[in-house]
Amino acid sequence: MNDREIVVEDLVKTYSGKVTAVKGVSFKVDAGKIFGFLGPNGAGKSTTIKILTTLALPTSGWGRVGGFDIVSQATDVRRVAGVALQDIGIDPLMKSMELLVLQGRLFGANKSEATTRASELLELVQLSDAADRRVGTYSGGMRRRLDLALALVHQPKVLFLDEPTTGLDPVSRRDVWREVRRLNREMGITIFLTTQYLEEADELADTVAIIVDGKIATEGTPANLKSALGEESINLVFETPEIAEKGRLSLEQVGDRIQLDRDTVRLYLSKAAGSIPMVINQLQQVGVSPISLTLTQPTLDDVFLQVTGQRLVASETAKPKSPRSNRRAEVN
């Protein structure tokens, strides 16, 4: 089944002899899995996907997509890989039916085959009603779904999706997720997905890799990463930052780690729930009491923060489980 795998070994990409965007990336995506590739802007995500989809050459290292070498067998890679890149556009003057038929014919189908396939794909992504409208009149969600359909025209075994839901409203986002999951489960397509939404990776990916500054900082299943790197925490909000500081001092010896952010104290410790009585007790001894107390389970967001030292900017729809401003927080 290596015709559905992605293997990358020590990939390096240096631009014009100066900027090194990717500094020795290695990973393997098993057949039929969904791989989530996360990282802050400029970490090397786009460069990696461009190399894997044959739009760019690596400076050194090698990679195989569906069993084909990304450098010497680019044509074969293009036949097994479907690609929906974030910055790859669709012509707004064309209609979706026309675009799908053209794409199919360029991949070698005759007119009737390409037309049948196009209708099926339009049905699949729920665009049949808009087949005869110019793409320029489509909403953002419709365009993403069309782009997904275009990537599927030649029945790829491996699918590359570069930020497939960036800029979509939550409903359209869920539509795309459902599609991606179906393609993976029902057709066994291996999916390489970059995303800015940790929630998305958590929802879809079997394996997640976080790339920081051109290198893979950590890799694993979302569950493993969360339990290894994320920590539970008790979050205490006080009336004023001064009271919060007093509370922080009293709790310093209690947890593994403590953070103060204005009026909020965050105490990281394992078995957080069981420690609540002790925490309250400590606070009472110095005569302060919180106005709210919440428990936070680890999220991929926490893992990301730990690994990269920053939050993903675009996670405005991620559930606000963890507090927002962490700039001043110590990370390790």
Does position 126 bind other proteins by CB under 8 A? yes
Task: Please name which of 159, 145, 222, 147 lies closest in space to residue 188, comparing C-alpha atoms.
Answer: 159
Q: Is 43 helix (H, G, I), strand (E, B) or coil?
A: coil
Q: Kindly state whether residue 293 participates in binding other proteins, applying the rule CB under 8 A.
A: no
Q: Residue 21 contacts by C-beta under 8 Å, 6 or more apart in sequence?
A: 13, 14, 15, 44, 47, 214
Contact between 166 and other proteins (CB under 8 A)? Answer: no
Where b means 16+ CB within 10 Å and e means fewer, 32-58 reads bbbbbbbbbeebbbbbbbbbbbbebeb
**Is position 187 an interface residue for other proteins (rule: CB under 8 A)?**
yes
Asked if 199 and 171 touch (Cβ cutoff 8 Å), the reply is no
8 binds other proteins (CB under 8 A): no
Question: Least distance (Å) from other proteins to the CB of residue 87?
Answer: 6
CA angle 132, 135, 137 (to 5 degrees): 95
Q: Identify the residue among 42, 108, 140, 320 touching other proteins (CB under 8 A).
A: 108
User: Could you tell me the two tokens for 202?
Assistant: 């958590």
Query: Minimal distance in Å, beta carbon 90 to other proteins?
Result: 6
Q: What residues does 265 pair with on adjacent strands?
A: 236, 260
Q: Find the binder of other proteins among 105, 246, 257, 321 (CB under 8 A).
A: 105
Helix (H) or strand (E) holding 198: helix 198-204
Q: Look up residue 76 and give its amino acid.
A: D
- Binding of other proteins at residue 93 (CB under 8 A)? yes
Q: Is 47:8 a contact under the CB 8 Å cutoff?
A: no
Choose which of 182, 223, 256, 276 interacts with other proteins (CB under 8 A).
182
98 binds other proteins (CB under 8 A): yes
Does residue 171 bind other proteins (CB under 8 A)? no
**Site track 30-59 with other proteins (rule: CB under 8 A), x = hit:** -----------------------xxxxx--
Q: Does 1 bind other proteins (CB under 8 A)?
A: no
Q: Decide: is 172 part of the binding site for other proteins (CB under 8 A).
A: no
Q: Which of 7, 12, 31, 102 binds other proteins (CB under 8 A)?
A: 102
Hey, what amino acid is at 161? L
Tell me: does residue 103 bind other proteins (CB under 8 A): yes
- Beta strand segments in the chain, E: 6-15, 19-29, 34-38, 60-65, 68-69, 81-84, 158-162, 190-195, 207-212, 215-220, 233-237, 257-261, 264-268, 292-296
Tokens of 265: 């104290």
Neighbouring C-alpha atoms within 13 Å toward the C-beta of 271 = 5
Segment interacting with other proteins, rule: CB under 8 A, options 3-11, 149-157, 291-299, 302-310: 149-157
> Of 118-126, 194-202, 244-252, 254-262, which part binds other proteins (CB under 8 A)?
118-126
List the one residue from 3, 69, 91, 242 that touches other proteins (CB under 8 A).
Answer: 91
Asked whether position 94 contacts other proteins by CB under 8 A, the answer is yes
Using alpha carbons, select from 34, 26, 32, 33 the residue that is nearest to residue 52.
26
Least Å distance between CB 145 and other proteins? Answer: 11
Give min distance, CB of 148 to other proteins, in A: 12
Residue from 3, 9, 69, 123 that binds other proteins (CB under 8 A)?
123
Number of residues that bind other proteins (CB under 8 A): 46
Contact 52, 192 (CB under 8 A): yes
Residues lying near other proteins in the complex (CB under 8 A) are found at 53-57, 74-75, 78-79, 83, 85, 87-94, 98, 102-109, 113-114, 116-117, 120-121, 123-124, 126, 134, 150, 154-155, 178, 182-183, 186-187
